[in-house]
Amino acid sequence: MKNTSGEHKKLSSSVLFRYGVGAVGEGIGYNVFFSFFSYFLTVEAGIAPAIAGLISGVAVLWDAVTDPLIGSMSDKSRNPKGRRMPYIMSGSILFGLSIALLFFNWNLPGTLKVIYYIVINMVYWLALTTCVVPHISLGSELTEDFDERTKLRTWAVTLMNIGTLIAVGTPLLLVKAFTNIAGSSSAGWAAAGIIYGVLTALVYQICCRTLKEPRNPNLDLPEEKGGVQAALKEFFGNAKVAFRNKALGKLIAVTFFLNIMVTFGTALAIYLLTFVFGFNEEQSSLVYTLQGVFVVITAVLVGYAAQKIGKKAAMSGGILFYIAGFLVIILLPVSWTSIIISIALYAFGNSGYWTMIYAMSYDAAIVEQLRSGEKPDGLYTSLIGLFMKFGNALGSVLCGVGLQLIGFVEGSDVQTASAVTGIRYLYALVPSAIMVVTLVFALAYPLTREKYASLAAALEKKQRGEPVDPAILKPYIR
């Protein structure tokens, strides 16, 4: 499907901001889940760690199926209001509702409680995909300029990190406040979930109601027949072609391994703060708030650095910061100093990946555009999302199994000395090992600014009807 809506143009600060507002919802919805859901299940809902990990793992694998479907459907949408925004607007309502329901501790028998959390978790991931995949794909349609895309993602990630700051810095305080008001910790968690659900839906609605989406290019094409089955069949056929793109393949590998680490480390962080550092709600919230402030600042710094040193170098450097941030936890004594150094290093790693990954996937799409004339932004975003979810699922399961193996006792405020030590080493060593593998793939990413410019020049020649040497694509296609 051809898309000619993107332009090599400068984006105003107003457009960058209005687009980025939607990413605030991603920051809230994504991080309140990964930071606190596992903890809520094991400490509040009384579910065994391995079962808690399985709940998230099963739901995320379900979402891996919906990712390609949503991406393909939005790519093909003939809605006069646009290919992306109608999905975001409807999905954000379900997204907000599901976030709220995740943190309800219903008085159900053990098996029914597990089934409830699996089902609502599946709804959560479907809604997240319906918002996030079209929103990210929308970014590629706003500009095709190499550096403007970096700027676009820098704004989006900076604002997403403000959402992250909200999602990680305030929940424990809100839970405590509403627990004191209602006299029940379950009521405290439910109230916090409702607040974050409303905020998530609200910012996506603001983005869609203030930002103008480019005209839907599908309105100029013949209508294509087929339902969900046809969409999935076409997706897998297109995905087979997409995997021939070496640049995309490296980004998918980076995404898979890094998100194992992100899910594992993020879920384990609250256990680290609570049981290893012995922090109370206020102290843990302060740590999360500082981390949120750090990621907002570092997103801007990394975006600026990427325009100087390139996206590949920025991402690879971020991975090194990630590794250092985890290792600090066992290399330094347990103290405020070690945790602040750790979260500062982690912030640079976080920004290096999240600022670059989709900007780089936008760039990778030029290979297919030059080869066939197709502009598969939604497809590439879906594939990145698909393997992100595979990594999320594996990370969730590994976290639950790891806690089970070290002897963590669900529903208990006190853990054995061996379990506390186990949490510390799990948090430091497992993510660091995974990130070493991730770094190998990041360093192998083939597209630089100069190489992208060469491909862009060839594409312009092709679009003018001039001949292009097919050998130019040889280094980028398997």
pLDDT tens per residue, range 221-256: 777 665 556 666 777 777 888 889 999 999 999 999
> In 310-335, which ranges are continuous DSSP H helix?
311-331
Least confident of 2-11, 212-221, 463-472: 2-11
Rounded Cα–Cα distance for residues 381 and 360 (Å): 11
Amino acid at 91: G
Q: Is 132 helix (H, G, I), strand (E, B) or coil?
A: helix
Looking at the predicted structure, is the pLDDT value of residue 411 above 80? no
Position 324 pLDDT exceeds 80: yes
Whether pTM exceeds 0.85: no
Query: pLDDT tier at 410 (50, 70, 90 boundaries)?
Result: confident
182: three-class secondary structure by DSSP: helix
Least confident of 274-283, 369-378, 416-425: 369-378
What is the architecture, at CATH level 2, of domain 13-214+229-476?
Up-down Bundle (1.20)
Q: Return the C-alpha torsion angle 74, 360, 206, 122, nearest 10.
A: 60
Give the sign of the dihedral formed by CA 267, CA 423, CA 292, CA 253: negative
Confidence band, pLDDT 50/70/90 cuts, at residue 140: confident
Cα distances (Å, whole numbers) of residue 95 to 87, 98, 199:
12, 5, 10
- pLDDT higher at 128 or 146: 128
Which has the higher per-residue pLDDT, 441 or 149? 441
Confidence at residue 253, expressed as pLDDT on a 0 to 100 scale: 96
Average pLDDT, the chain: 88
Q: Tell me, what's the pLDDT at 151?
A: 86
Cα–Cα distance between 94 and 81 in angstroms, integer? 20
